[in-house]
Amino acid sequence: MLAPMANRAVTMEDVAARAGVSRALVSIVFRGAPGAAESTRQRVLAAARELDYQPDTRASRLGRSRTRTRTLGVVFGVGHDFHGDVIDAIYASAGPADYEVVLSGVTRHRSEDVAVRTLLAEKCEALLLLGSGLPAKEMVRLAVTVPVVSLLRPVRAAGVDVVRTDDAGGLAQAVAHLGELGHRRIAHLDGGRNAGAAERRRGFRTAVRRLGVEAEGVELAGGLTEEDGAAAALELLALPGPRPTAVTAFNDRCALGVMDVVRRHGVRVPEDLSVVGFDDIEQAAYRHVSLTTIRQDVEALGAAAIERVRARLDAGDESTRDVVVPPTLVARESTARLDIGP
């Protein structure tokens, strides 16, 4: 109540007047900057509360632009559940580092290009791209103007930092796990051109080789979605010769698709076929699913991304880094020891 003026938003000016100090002092208090006596600080905060003052971020960012805006732009796939987890981690790390986060979503009708442009128009100081599909050339172009971190997608682009999971290592863990359970004939459902797919494929091959001479890796086309997994399952079932006894899928969703389809063809999981996913999305942990998978360390990914931004912006680091975060195997019930003989 006591609106300072009819129907006009409360500004710092109003708070200052009420607290009996200057506008600058209110600014100091709200920014948490040094130079305000504790007693005054309390008085200002009280005044703000009484007037229900809401600081204006637009004005704040604009005012700051002479020095630093401390704003981070994040491009992500709207509705992409794993991106959600990463964003969560980014929020968590950005706050303590005193960075604001602005989201820009990619949807069917809103391209990554538009998403990026919007963020640049907001004068973000750095860009975090989640699983970006932008061509490396384009990223390089962007990186000239503003620090760019490619999350989840490895790119070799000058000036573009990469923060990603050790995809190859993840697959190595998956295959090793299956190896220990006695599996030797293992299929990999490939991710094609998707972020991380090449690395995972490489990890798969190396790990199978390491399993010994009797081990054999079979590669099938997979993909991002349950549908891709379902298609791969049909291929798997139609394979000539002895059927692989285990499968590593490009990701959890793909794994879910495989399990669904093979089960409907009378193949039991894990008795007849062991399945390993990648990501550890929420569904993987559901009791009726209980998918063994390679968990990406989302918190570490988010923290590393922020760390790169700080290194460049706050510490003046000019080097281009490729930060690789180790994943962990989460053994659940979609994998089992291979029964030799019936």
Partner DNA sequence: CGTGGGAACTAGAGCGCTCTAGTATCGGCA
Partner DNA sequence: TGCCGATACTAGAGCGCTCTAGTTCCCACG
Q: What is the binding site for DNA (CB under 7 A)?
A: 8-9, 11-13, 21-25, 27-28, 30-31, 33-37, 39-40, 53-56, 59-60, 62-68
Closest approach, Cβ 281 to its own copies, in A, equals: 9
Q: Is 261 in the site for its own copies (CB under 8 A)?
A: yes
User: Which segment (148-156, 182-190, 254-262, 331-339) binds its own copies by CB under 8 A?
Assistant: 254-262
Residue 230 interacts with, from its own copies, DNA, none (CB under 5-8 Å by kind): its own copies
Residue count, binding to its own copies (CB under 8 A): 52
Q: Is 137 in the site for its own copies (CB under 8 A)?
A: no
**Reduced to 3 states, what is the DSSP secondary structure of residue 113?**
helix
Closest approach, Cβ 337 to its own copies, in A, equals: 21
CB-nearer residue toward DNA: 34 or 342: 34
Contact predicate 284/252, CB 8 Å:
yes
- Tell which one of 227, 271, 314, 339 touches its own copies (CB under 8 A): 227
Among residues 275, 239, 270, the alpha carbon closest in space to that of 257 is found at 275
CB-nearer residue toward DNA: 17 or 285: 17
CA distance 135 to 75: 15
Closest approach, Cβ 175 to its own copies, in A, equals: 26
CA distance 264 to 317: 54
Residue 257 interacts with, from its own copies, DNA, none (CB under 5-8 Å by kind): its own copies
Q: Is 193 in the site for its own copies (CB under 8 A)?
A: no
Closest approach, Cβ 310 to its own copies, in A, equals: 20
| Sign of the dihedral through C-alpha 240, 241, 242, 247 | negative
Q: Is 180 in the site for its own copies (CB under 8 A)?
A: no
CA distance 87 to 119: 16
Contact predicate 200/171, CB 8 Å:
yes
Q: Is 271 in the site for its own copies (CB under 8 A)?
A: no
CA distance 324 to 322: 6
Say which amino acid occupies 156: R
Q: Is 189 in the site for its own copies (CB under 8 A)?
A: no
CA distance 144 to 121: 16
Computed on alpha carbons and rounded to an integer, the radius of gyration of the chain in Å comes to 26
Closest approach, Cβ 95 to DNA, in A, equals: 16
Q: Is 1 in the site for its own copies (CB under 8 A)?
A: no
Q: Is 79 in the site for its own copies (CB under 8 A)?
A: yes
DSSP 203-264: HHHHHHHHT-TT-EEEEEE--SSHHHHHHHHHHHHH-SSSPPSEEE-SSHHHHHHHHHHHHH
Contact predicate 88/298, CB 8 Å:
yes
Residues 10-69 within binding reach of its own copies (CB under 8 A)? 54-59, 61-62, 65
Cis geometry, peptide bond prior to residue 154 (ω within 30 degrees of 0): no
CB-nearer residue toward its own copies: 117 or 156: 117
Site residues (CB under 8 A) for its own copies?
Answer: 9, 54-59, 61-62, 65, 76-85, 87-88, 91-92, 103-105, 107-110, 117-118, 120-123, 225-227, 230, 257, 260-261, 263-264, 282-283, 286-289
